[in-house]
């Protein structure tokens, strides 16, 4: 067989003379999928040629040897080796490529095939930024995407390591990372939300709703003096009901917000309240029943606001901590 020369034609090149692209952004290669591709290659061969560059290297004896470096098609090359092929079809690029071009071509090929997971894509973009001083807008133009697409991808690298690993493993989606990133300045809340997404299998919309409520609550607390009694009430209710509980105090009265994610959660909360009711003494049950049967003032919002006129203590002051001032 003639030695391949540079050009746009397809040549058959020995598998062992091809080296992987050192700038390959893809780090995860599924062994099971490679085995399936290898079986296909054994039956039908490599249907799409690899893309390589030709390099001359000096041997130990002073002579020259020809090697080839992958630009595109590493998955096919790996599967061909697994299938036991001696040669594979390849296109030899006419000009030697710079390191930047090799990385750009590898990224573009993987993006076109949708072979990169979000984290590998983010790392590839970051490499273009760090190593070649490219701006987000420049990367976007090269890959045919928007600047926001590049910026949002790079932001993934700011996630905690356990979240990044879950994203690579497919335990969460890229959409789930947006609400998690919203809580980057509150690591404990961020960790809790991440666990809720995995354990409760929250969809993206549910996760975003929780993140927004937390962000709103943070802004609300900055605007007022934090009442330690309210904070303690929130903590106690959260522990008691086993879900996030938010207490909002108003000038008169207030409301309690209880998070739930399914009908089972609602049934569990109701069962817990029922069990607490059974523990009440007869006089306490009578007081509770009287409260439940009390007429709701006309000023209250129908169906959604169960607040009643706040009780007044013996000194004539409004008792803001009475349970009657809160709604669920």
Residue among 142, 155, 73 nearest 108 (CA): 142
Beta strands per DSSP E along 84-234: 87-92
Exposed / middle / buried, residue 112 (Cβ in 10 Å: 0-12, 13-18, 19+): exposed
Q: Catalytic one among 69, 74, 189, 196? A: 74
Residues 213 and 182 sit within 8 Å (Cβ to Cβ): no
Can you give the C-alpha Rg of the chain in angstroms? 31
Whole-number Å distance between alpha carbons of 19 and 60: 19
- The Cα–Cα gap between 27 and 6 comes to 29
Measured over the CA atoms of residue 146, residue 202, residue 258 and residue 189, the dihedral's sign is: negative
| Residue 148 among the catalytic residues | no
Both tokens assigned to 207: 């996760």
Instruction: Please give the positions annotated as active site.
Output: 74
């Amino acid at each position: 067989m003639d030695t391949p020369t540079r050009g746009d034609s397809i040549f058959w090149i020995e598998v062992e003379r091809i080296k992987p692209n050192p700038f390959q952004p893809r780090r995860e290669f599924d062994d099971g999928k490679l085995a399936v591709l290898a079986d296909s290659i054994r039956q039908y061969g490599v249907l799409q040629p690899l893309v390589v560059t030709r390099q001359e290297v000096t041997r130990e004896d002073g002579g020259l040897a020809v090697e080839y470096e992958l630009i595109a098609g590493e998955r096919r090359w790996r599967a061909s080796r697994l299938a036991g092929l001696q040669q594979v079809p390849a296109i030899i690029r006419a000009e030697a490529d710079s390191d930047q071009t090799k990385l750009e071509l590898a990224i573009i090929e993987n993006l076109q095939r949708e072979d990169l997971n979000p984290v590998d894509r983010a790392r590839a973009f970051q490499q273009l930024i760090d190593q070649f001083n490219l701006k987000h807008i420049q990367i976007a133009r090269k890959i045919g995407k928007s600047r926001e697409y590049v910026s949002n991808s790079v932001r993934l690298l700011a996630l905690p390591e356990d979240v990044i690993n879950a994203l690579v493993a497919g335990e969460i989606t890229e959409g789930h990372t947006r609400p998690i990133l919203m809580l980057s300045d509150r690591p404990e809340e961020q960790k809790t939300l991440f666990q809720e997404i995995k354990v409760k299998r929250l969809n993206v919309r549910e996760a975003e709703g929780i993140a927004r409520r937390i962000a709103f609550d943070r802004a609300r607390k900055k605007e007022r003096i934090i009442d330690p009694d309210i904070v303690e009430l929130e903590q106690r209710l959260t522990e008691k009901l086993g879900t996030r509980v938010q207490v909002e105090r108003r000038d008169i009265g207030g409301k309690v917000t209880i998070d739930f994610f399914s009908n089972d959660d609602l049934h569990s909360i109701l069962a817990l309240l029922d069990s607490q009711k059974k523990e009440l003494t007869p006089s306490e049950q009578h007081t509770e029943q009287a409260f439940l049967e009390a007429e709701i003032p006309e000023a209250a919002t129908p169906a959604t606001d169960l607040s009643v006129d706040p009780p007044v203590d013996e000194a004539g002051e409004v008792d803001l901590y009475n349970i009657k001032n809160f709604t669920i």
